[in-house]
Structures are given as structure tokens and as C-alpha cells.
């Protein structure tokens, strides 16, 4: 897992499977602490929206990184929109894991209790979609 702060943009590229890679190697990116809300469709948890705070230097650096990733895809004729209206959509997979602030694994039903939370995320990017590996709640 690589912190968004330590990524050299010039070492990012796309592999033959449309994954973002760093210096030719698969990369899992770690986000800054960021507010998010869980998204439900028909009462089923299906994703997370991260909210970019334009007044935060760390969020602006993170958004610039993802904007660069978006440009890489678009230059390779893969049309993507990663950030829209200061929101970043993260998709959930069967292997996505969720932890409370004490690193105890939690069930996604926890997110139904309120709308906004803060967390740290690790994710990978394929075909312009962001897929969650792990998230930890921050209190």
C-alpha cells in the first residue's frame, strides 16, 4: 500500500489489464483521512462516496493525483470521470474489508446508523473505477 503523498506521478501508467500501476507494479493507494457516506440501492450497500474538502491541502493533493490518473486513462482512449462535484465514488467488492477505529472488522450495516463518517481507505484502480480494499473508521 502506497500513500498518495509518496506517489511520483511520472511513474504511473496503465497495464494491459487497464490497471493503474506504479513503476510497472500493481499499486494499492492509501487516501488521506476523508469524510464519506455509504451508498445504498434498494437497501443494499453498494458503494462509498468520498467528499473532497477544497480547503484541505492533503485533499487537494489527493484530488490532483486522481485527476492525473483520469488524464492517463483519457489519453489511452478510456473515457473515465473519477472526480465529479468534489465526490469520488468507490466500488465495493466481495473482498472489501471494513474496520472500526480499533481495527476490529465491522459489518457494513454499521453505515446505516448515520450519513457522514471519516475514514482512511486503501484502493486500486481498474478501467477508471476505484475498488475498495480496506477502510478504517476514524473517530
In sequence order, which ranges of 1-139 are alpha helices (DSSP H)?
Answer: 57-75
Q: What is the DSSP letter of 118?
A: E
The Cα 48–Cα 131 span in angstroms is: 10
Predicted local confidence at residue 128, as pLDDT: 93
CATH fit for domain 2-138, picks 3.30.70, 3.40.50, 1.10.260, 2.40.50 = 2.40.50
Predicted local confidence at residue 113, as pLDDT: 65
Instruction: Give per-10-residue mean pLDDT for the chain (139 aa).
Output: 96 96 97 91 82 96 96 94 94 93 87 81 96 94
**Bridge partners of residue 51, in order along the sequence:** 35, 87
User: Residue 112 is placed in which grid cell?
Assistant: 446505516
Neighbours of 106 (CB within 10 A): 16
User: Residue 47 is placed in which grid cell?
Assistant: 458503494
The Cα 7–Cα 65 span in angstroms is: 8
Q: What is the Rg, in whole angstroms, of the alpha carbon atoms belonging to the chain? A: 15
Amino acid at each position: 500500500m502506497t500513500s498518495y503523498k509518496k506517489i511520483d506521478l511520472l511513474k504511473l501508467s496503465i497495464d494491459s489489464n487497464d490497471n493503474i500501476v506504479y513503476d510497472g507494479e500493481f499499486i494499492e493507494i492509501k487516501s488521506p483521512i476523508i469524510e464519506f457516506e455509504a451508498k445504498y440501492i434498494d437497501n443494499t450497500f453498494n458503494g462509498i462516496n468520498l467528499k473532497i474538502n477544497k480547503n484541505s491541502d492533503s485533499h487537494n493533493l489527493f484530488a490532483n493525483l486522481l485527476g492525473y490518473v483520469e488524464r492517463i486513462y483519457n489519453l489511452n482512449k478510456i473515457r473515465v470521470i473519477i472526480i465529479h462535484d468534489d465526490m469520488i465514488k468507490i466500488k465495493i467488492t466481495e473482498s472489501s474489508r471494513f474496520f472500526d477505529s480499533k481495527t476490529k472488522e465491522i459489518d457494513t450495516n454499521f453505515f446505516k446508523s448515520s450519513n457522514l463518517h471519516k475514514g482512511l481507505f486503501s484502493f486500486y484502480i481498474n478501467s477508471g473505477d476505484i475498488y475498495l480494499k480496506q477502510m478504517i473508521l476514524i473517530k
